[in-house]
A and B are shown apart, each in its own frame.
Chain A
């Protein structure tokens, strides 16, 4: 089945230690998104790629970066995680236009010690 896959599902890191989360998709979608979701809150868009074009949200901290080496994969790098970065990180994809439905992966739960 075509899907959005995130690895790992659970990630524990130490304060200040860089961490990378990965997302892959078999839907062959052009657009890939990264969201942060904290407990009992709505998902918050961090950035997205439209094909190779990177689009950063204005309020996304510089601590968060992303890479998309090819259509299928996208990575979220957190350079120096703080305690406030502990959250669920969701990857989503959509087809060729912004009105297309976004399909989400299962998420990666990040814990910062």
Chain B
């Protein structure tokens, strides 16, 4: 069964304290892994797409990496405005399968 698991469920950081979010997946025939940011009461905002193991993408303080079994979203020197829920999803069987998300809180 295709499955996506994100950890931790919640993460509290101090401003400037770097960390990583994990997304583990089991899927037959990965056709893309996606990271989204979701603010409370809003729709998910697209961040990155990764297609093959070894691929990396960066945007400001965020960097996404992909292996054959998992993806990491590294956050370097986070700021309070990075606080949000981060969703990971894999493309399988013609649809996105989402993880439950990691709720990130960055305190000043």
Q: Hey, which bits of chain A sit against chain B, CB under 8 A?
A: 4, 6, 40-43, 45, 48, 88, 90, 92, 98-99, 101-107, 109
Query: Is B98 part of the contact surface with A, judged by Cβ < 8 Å?
Result: yes
How far is A40 from B49 in the complex, measured between Cα atoms in Å? 23
| Contact A107 to B43, CB < 8 A, known contacts A42-B98, A45-B96, A99-B32 | yes
Which of B42, B49, B51, B98 interacts with A43 by CB under 8 Å?
Answer: B98
Number of B interface residues in the complex (CB < 8 A): 21
Q: Hey, which bits of chain B sit against chain A, CB under 8 A?
A: 31-32, 34, 36, 41-46, 49, 51, 87, 91, 94-96, 98-101
| Contact A90 to B32, CB < 8 A, known contacts A42-B99, A101-B49 | no
Contact: A107 with B34, CB < 8 Å? no
16 contacts between A and B (CB under 8 A): A6-B43, A41-B100, A42-B87, A42-B100, A45-B95, A92-B43, A98-B31, A98-B95, A99-B31, A99-B51, A101-B46, A102-B96, A104-B44, A104-B45, A106-B42, A107-B43
